């Protein structure tokens, strides 16, 4: 490592996990990355790898929490790597919900911690974990800037007619119930990359970004600004996902409560953890498993695959309305980057109504995006379609790195 190299520690705290990586914000090089899992449980553990080499795994001790995991990263994993510790110029914290309080990456201070706390109702599992990560991080790195990068921030440019729900006004004004969106860092990154790679004019470039992983969302991005997105108050809305239902008739909830006697909490669990690809296939939430099942003739997996593609195509189609014209559609996330079968089906559904034409051979080969290799549409297509691997760590490192002195 060059002695003047500057790196950012990227921290992503989930409800029972901490993902961490030391990333060079200029070239994206990852010096070390890892994950602490099963936090607060009997088998709390941590694994890590330097420079993408072999993984080391170790127990953190029963009941270890987020703070213990962060201490371990600094005191044990980085103990013999003073040059890496000295290279850190900032810590970037991924934050799931900043509600409508934050529309930019924000330097952490006590008032920002209070703001994240205020947004706990919108991300009850994640925001408390983020706060633990921030507090532990500020203790071990008191002298470098800590920067929050909010998943919701990119969506704060949505116009009111896109972010309001058609419910009585007081629930918006008094309780801040509205569409906030999620995966904003990923949508922001791939929208920018698409414009750059396709040689677009940043002030006149309309793109539909599809982030398709275990969670899935889609955004309409006009000249670099989000004008609509599919996730709502929480990440349950919108597309069909691994275990989440996506949009459904809200009456399904009343039906389950009133006629089957389920509690609101039970319905919440069903819609978040037992629905989506898992609920339809009765087998798996994993898109690879769904695809294998479909290829083997499993009818339920075939239905799950068909529903996923149909609903995604309908969403993409609907985003032609806010955008007017569409320069590009981008696929990203584990499913978006890897499933050429899903992309083929979705684009077939969009061919007749929107004049989108897919290059089948390029689509099958588009696994890595390099110098335009991710383009999967033909020259005749009404808009370009590309595959761009997302890189949330890199963008968090870049945004946090800008705060370094
Ligand atoms: P997360 O939202 O947890 O970050 P990822 O972006 O890693 O998720 O995406 C995970 C999803 O990507 C899983 O459903 C997985 O099956 C799917 N996936 C990964 N590789 C492939 C592949 N080659 N073909 C189809 N689906 C894939």
pLDDT tens per residue across span 246-294: 999 999 999 999 999 999 999 999 999 999 999 999 999 999 999 999 9
What is the Rg, in whole angstroms, of the alpha carbon atoms belonging to the chain?
21
| Per-residue confidence (pLDDT) for residue 63, from 0 to 100 | 95
Residue 403 has pLDDT above 60, yes or no: yes
**Percent of the chain's residues with pLDDT above 70:** 97
Residue 371 has pLDDT above 60, yes or no: no
How far is Cα 224 from Cα 205, in angstroms, rounded to an integer? Answer: 7
- 3 state DSSP class of 274: coil
| Per-residue confidence (pLDDT) for residue 3, from 0 to 100 | 64
Q: Could you tell me the pLDDT band of residue 4, with boundaries at 50, 70 and 90?
A: confident
| Per-residue confidence (pLDDT) for residue 367, from 0 to 100 | 58
Q: What is the DSSP string of 164-191?
A: --SS-HHHHHTT--S---S-HHHHHHHH
Instruction: Calculate mean pLDDT across residues 49-77.
Output: 94
Count of CB atoms within 10 A of residue 16's CB? Answer: 16
Half-sphere exposure for 237 (CA within 13 Å, toward CB)? 19
* Bridge partners of residue 207, in order along the sequence: 221, 328
Q: Which residues line ligand 1 (CB under 6 A)?
A: 213-215, 242, 286-288, 291, 333-335, 338-339
Whole-number average pLDDT of the chain = 95
Ligand 1 centre and the CA of 334: distance in Å?
Answer: 3
| b (16+ CB within 10 A) / e for 352-363 | eebebbbbeebb
Ligand 1 centre and the CA of 214: distance in Å?
Answer: 7
Give Cα separations from 41 to 36, 66, 241, 295 (angstroms): 12, 11, 27, 39
Closest CA to 330 of 206, 152, 184: 206
Q: What is the position in ligand 1's atom list of the atom closest to the CA of 242? A: 14
| Per-residue confidence (pLDDT) for residue 26, from 0 to 100 | 94
| Per-residue confidence (pLDDT) for residue 395, from 0 to 100 | 94
| Per-residue confidence (pLDDT) for residue 2, from 0 to 100 | 66
- Name the residue at shortest CA distance from atom 22 of ligand 1: 338
Ligand 1 centre and the CA of 229: distance in Å?
Answer: 21
Q: Could you tell me the pLDDT band of residue 373, with boundaries at 50, 70 and 90?
A: low
Give the CA-trace dihedral at 106, 38, 272, 239, to 10 degrees: 60
Ligand 1 centre and the CA of 8: distance in Å?
Answer: 26
- 3 state DSSP class of 322: helix
Q: What is the position in ligand 1's atom list of the atom closest to the CA of 342? A: 25
**Percent of the chain's residues with pLDDT above 90:** 93
Which domains are seen in the chain, by residue range?
A: 7-150 (3.30.420.40), 200-392 (3.30.420.40)
Residue 5 has pLDDT above 90, yes or no: no
| Per-residue confidence (pLDDT) for residue 125, from 0 to 100 | 84
Q: What is the pLDDT of residues 110-150, one digit of tens each?
A: 999 999 999 999 988 889 999 999 999 999 999 999 999 99
| Per-residue confidence (pLDDT) for residue 385, from 0 to 100 | 96
| Per-residue confidence (pLDDT) for residue 308, from 0 to 100 | 98
Residue 6 has pLDDT above 80, yes or no: yes
Judge whether 151 counts as a catalytic residue: yes
| Per-residue confidence (pLDDT) for residue 1, from 0 to 100 | 66
- Pocket mutation for ligand 1, best pick of 209, 285, 288, 367 (most atoms within 8 Å of C-beta): 288
């Amino acid at each position: 490592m060059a002695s003047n190299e500057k790196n950012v520690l990227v921290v992503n705290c989930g409800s029972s996990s901490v993902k961490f990586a030391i990333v060079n914000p200029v070239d994206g090089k990852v010096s070390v990355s890892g994950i602490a899992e099963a936090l607060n449980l009997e088998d709390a553990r941590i694994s890590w790898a330097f420079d993408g080499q072999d993984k080391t795994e170790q127990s953190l001790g029963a009941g270890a929490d987020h703070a213990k995991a962060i201490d371990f990263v600094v005191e044990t994993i980085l103990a013999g790597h003073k040059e890496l510790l000295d290279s850190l110029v900032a810590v970037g914290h991924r934050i799931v919900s900043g509600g409508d309080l934050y529309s930019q990456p924000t330097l952490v201070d006590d008032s920002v911690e209070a703001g994240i706390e205020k947004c706990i109702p919108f991300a009850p599992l994640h925001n408390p974990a983020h706060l633990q990560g921030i507090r532990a991080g500020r203790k071990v790195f008191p002298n470098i800037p800590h920067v929050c990068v909010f998943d919701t921030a990119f969506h704060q440019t949505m116009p009111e007619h896109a972010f309001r729900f058609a419910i009585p006004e007081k629930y918006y004004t008094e309780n801040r119930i509205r569409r906030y969106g999620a995966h904003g860092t990923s949508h922001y990154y791939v929208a920018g990359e698409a414009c750059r790679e396709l040689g677009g004019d940043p002030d006149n470039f309309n793109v539909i970004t599809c982030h398709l992983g275990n969670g899935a969302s889609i955004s309409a991005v006009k000249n670099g600004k989000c004008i609509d997105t599919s996730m709502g108050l929480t990440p349950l809305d919108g597309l069909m996902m691994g275990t989440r239902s996506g949009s459904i008739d809200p009456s399904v909830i009343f039906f389950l409560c009133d006629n089957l006697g389920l509690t609101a909490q039970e319905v919440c669990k069903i819609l978040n953890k037992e629905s989506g690809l898992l609920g339809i296939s009765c087998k798996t939430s994993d898109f690879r498993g769904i695809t294998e099942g479909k290829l083997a003739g499993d009818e339920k997996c075939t239905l799950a695959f068909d529903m996923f593609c149909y609903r995604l195509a309908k969403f993409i189609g609907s985003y032609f309305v806010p955008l007017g014209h569409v320069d590009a559609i981008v696929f990203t996330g584990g499913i978006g980057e890897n499933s050429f079968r899903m992309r083929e089906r979705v684009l077939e559904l969009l061919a007749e109504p929107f004049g989108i034409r897919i290059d089948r051979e390029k689509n099958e080969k588009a696994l890595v995006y390099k110098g335009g290799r991710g383009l999967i549409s033909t020259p005749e297509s009404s808009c370009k379609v590309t595959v761009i691997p997302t890189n949330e760590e890199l963008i968090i490192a870049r945004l946090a790195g800008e705060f370094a002195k």
